[in-house]
Chain A
């Protein structure tokens, strides 16, 4: 019985990487040269940065059995306010970067308190902060688009070089962002799989009441989980800013789905209590290959939205099947 269960789990571990390869090959066949190019790989990488950071953060939340719908708008709000302090208030760039991280972290802290201390359902509280963050960005910037420095700008030209690409190791336009992504992937995995913080994250998601009765201060740890996720969303804001430069108020809605779907495709259960960071990383690349692949084969934004929706449903269906299978083992 148990052997069978493990075998099934192994299959599921293989499923995501397999899907990634199949997707890439499929797009290469349909898209031909256009897809199978260095530029495309760069595009895929660049859009995976911000999705990746969102996904790393929300992986922790989903493993506790929660959800964060405010990812996308908080990311934009953070990037928007960071740019605002840089362009309009003429803060030094480094301070603006700090502001961006702070905005993300603060919203995470707020979410954490709403969920853990005030006992609001995560779905509702983060739906609230989703709209709040979108609103705040627009209010402060008076609905004006804000820009981060481009690579050629004299002030802050290093921003893109540090976060996205620069000539490094003798390679022209080396994707520096990938280094950041990998570095934070390693940090996130270590936190999730090797620290007390991570162990409690799993425990809370697996059985919150049992965790509480074991003497774990569940509420405090939950606030910490949402706050950490908020920091990652702030990082996502920076990566988005560095990749796309211009931030438009009132956007970001729907971006959260890229992150959440990436996590679920990667094998983290919406029911909480199980998941891996590696899975999330692969899930993120699936989302970003899909995004870029669709546009490479000539299907534009509306189609991308449509397919993202489809993938969300597919991923959650898969998750329900997984949970059912796990419960079946439990009963016996």
Chain B
């Protein structure tokens, strides 16, 4: 393994109310793949944003080839040879591969673009990376994996990249595409580039990385050699002081509990004949990889998207759900994974957001009653312990966990009996997470029925009474909590073809 290229240590970053990075550190050597892992909210992306100049650090040192440097802007980082390939692709779909690679710095002949030269330069670059992609292909005709490699090629085409950050590069790829990606990464590594590889998939880390740096709650935990460290140990480091309680050992729901929601044969572009039942007082987990169609299914249930086929029964009676209004009337409340986009009016107060779905019951013949609204909102602030200076505070100024609680209050105030939690703990710090868990358990115990979509298996195993597993728009498995393990869930989640 080569010399150390990059060393970050003592990195501090504060956001109002959050100590996002506390003494974070990282070391990258030439010609290695360093995995950077940690749970959501561990500070990986904040650290990477500091390295690429998106954020500036509040304290700490970045050493690059032995020299202490400051990175003040993304351009700074790029000029020094630090590049990042984002999880979402940033290519322009209608332009060619060559045009995408050289966008903003096209070779020209006088006033005109020199297309021939551009294509030739792109060809050289692609050849040097052993990529069999034609520079004149329009990007949208490439597979996602190929597009990703174009993106990588693009980032390498800037002044000889020394450090390449790859943020969950395999998330959207199929098995064989991932193999291609790994071949490519190995080749890249041989040229002496240091690669920081962010991923959640343990099996991948074993295969492609040399060392693993673990972060937790904004702090550096340890760096270990991949080959000589058992995976269990790494997981233990990630989870740390076991914030997760033990998985539920058995369902809390009586086998004869009434079915409250029954969906049959739901179909849309991304959902292929999905059926499931939800019992009263149950927490039904939905597991699956990205793109499994879990959110898409739930958007059909709550009327956000139109379904092509399928029936939805609530309490045994079929309900016509054509819009969110119908779903809300049927007592179905949806908490989106992206609460800022789909859940909240950030510029309005806690009270107004809480009352939003239930204004009918909070207004007289003409006027709304602010008194009633504020009183009811306060009731739920107290009930689920939302931390807010007052119910008149704008939702925008609350922390993520408390914003989430405002959305929950909204559905509780509307008296929804079926609550769909889509990644309820995403972007929420650890303490707030366990509060949300407590709240969900409390709600289930009160007789609310809950669907929980989550990509974090430990979370699903801890919370669910039963788990549905989806893959590519289909339900591929159903597990009672007593028999569910991370392993059998993953087996179903990757079961691409089903008979």
Residues of A near any B CB (own CB < 8 A): 1-2, 5, 190, 194-196, 198-200, 202-203, 206-207, 209-217, 273-274, 326, 329-330, 332
Q: Is B359 engaged at the interface, CB distance under 8 Å to the other chain?
A: yes
The answer to whether A215 touches B348 (Cβ under 8 A) is no
Residue with the greatest number of chain B CB neighbours at <10 A, chosen from A1, A198, A216 = A216
The 8 closest A-B pairs by CB, nearest first: A215-B328, A206-B345, A332-B16, A214-B357, A273-B347, A207-B345, A215-B325, A214-B356
Residues from chain A with a CB closer than 8 A to the CB of B17 are: 332
Residue B393 at the chain A interface, CB threshold 8 Å: yes
Would you give the shortest CB distance from B35 to chain A, in whole angstroms?
29
Contact across chains for B366 and A195 when beta carbons are under 8 A apart: yes
Which partner residue on chain A sits nearest B332 by CB separation?
Answer: A215
A200 contact set on B, CB distance < 8 A: 359
User: Chain A residues near B357 (CB, 8 Å)?
Assistant: 214-216
Find A2's partner among B343, B348, B397, B410 (CB 8 Å cutoff): B397
A203 with B341, Cβ < 8 A, contacts A194-B368, A332-B15 known: no
Residue in contact with A217 in the complex, picked from B16, B325, B363, B414, CB distance below 8 Å = B325
- Chain A residues with CB under 8 Å of B368's CB are 194-196, 198-199
A202 to B344, CA, bound (A): 12
B residues 454-497 in Cβ contact with A at 8 Å: none
Q: B residues engaging A (CB < 8 A)?
A: 15-17, 302, 304, 323-325, 327-329, 334, 336, 341-348, 352, 355-357, 359-360, 363, 366-368, 370, 389, 393, 396-397, 410, 414
Cβ B347 vs Cβ A195 within 8 A: no
Residue contact A214 to B324, C-beta cutoff 8 Å: yes
Interface secondary structure of A, over-half rule: helix
Contact present for A215 and B327 (CB under 8 Å):
yes
- Give the Cβ gap from B464 to chain A, nearest Cβ, in Å: 24
Given A273-B347, A274-B347; A216-B325 close (CB under 8 Å)? yes
Q: A215-B414, A329-B397 are in contact. List 5 more A-B contacts (CB 8 A).
A: A199-B355, A206-B346, A207-B344, A212-B323, A216-B356
Question: Which residues of chain B are near A213, meaning CB under 8 Å?
Answer: 302, 304, 324, 334, 336, 342-343
Closest Cβ neighbor of B362 among chain A residues: A196
- Provide the bound-state CA to CA distance between A327 and B277, in Å: 42
Q: How far apart are the CA atoms of A206 and B352 in the complex, in Å?
A: 11
User: Which B-chain residue is minimally distant from A215 (CB atoms)?
Assistant: B328
Please indicate the chain A residues that have their CB under 8 angstroms from the CB of B363 in the complex: 195-196
Residues from chain B with a CB closer than 8 A to the CB of A212 are 304, 323-324
Q: How far is the CA of A190 from the CA of B414 in the complex (A)?
A: 25
Return the chain A residue nearest B18 by Cβ.
Answer: A332
B341: contacting residue among A2, A210, A217, CB under 8 A = A210
* Other-chain contact of A203, B324, B336, B345 (Cβ < 8 Å): B345
Q: Which residues of B contact A1 (CB under 8 A)?
A: 16, 397
- Contact partners of A330 in chain B: CB under 8 A: 346, 396
Q: Which residues of B contact A332 (CB under 8 A)?
A: 15-17
Residue of B nearest to A273 (CB): B347
Q: List 19 A-B contacts (CB under 8 A).
A: A1-B16, A2-B389, A2-B397, A194-B370, A195-B366, A195-B368, A196-B368, A202-B348, A203-B345, A209-B341, A210-B342, A213-B304, A214-B357, A215-B324, A215-B325, A215-B327, A215-B357, A215-B414, A216-B325
Residue of B15, B329, B352, B396 near A329 (CB, 8 A) is B396
Neighbouring A residues of B336 by C-beta, 8 Å: 213
**Nearest CB in chain A to that of B389: its residue:** A2
Contact in complex: B356, A211 (CB < 8 Å): yes
A210 to B338, CA, bound (A): 10
CB distance from A189 to the nearest CB of B (A): 12
Which residues of the other chain, B, contact A209 by a CB distance below 8 angstroms?
341-342
- Choose one: A196, A217, A273; the contact of B359 (CB below 8 Å): A196
For the complex, give the distance between the alpha carbons of A28 and B355 in Å. 49
In the bound assembly, the distance between CA atoms of A203 and B342 in angstroms comes to: 12
Are B356 and A273 in contact, with the CB atoms below 8 A?
no
On chain A, the residues within 8 Å of B396 by CB distance are 326, 329-330
Taking CB atoms, residues of chain A closer than 8 Å to B342 are 209-210, 213
Question: How far is A211 from B368 in the complex, measured between Cα atoms in Å?
Answer: 17
Q: Tell me the minimal C-beta distance from B353 to chain A in angstroms.
A: 8
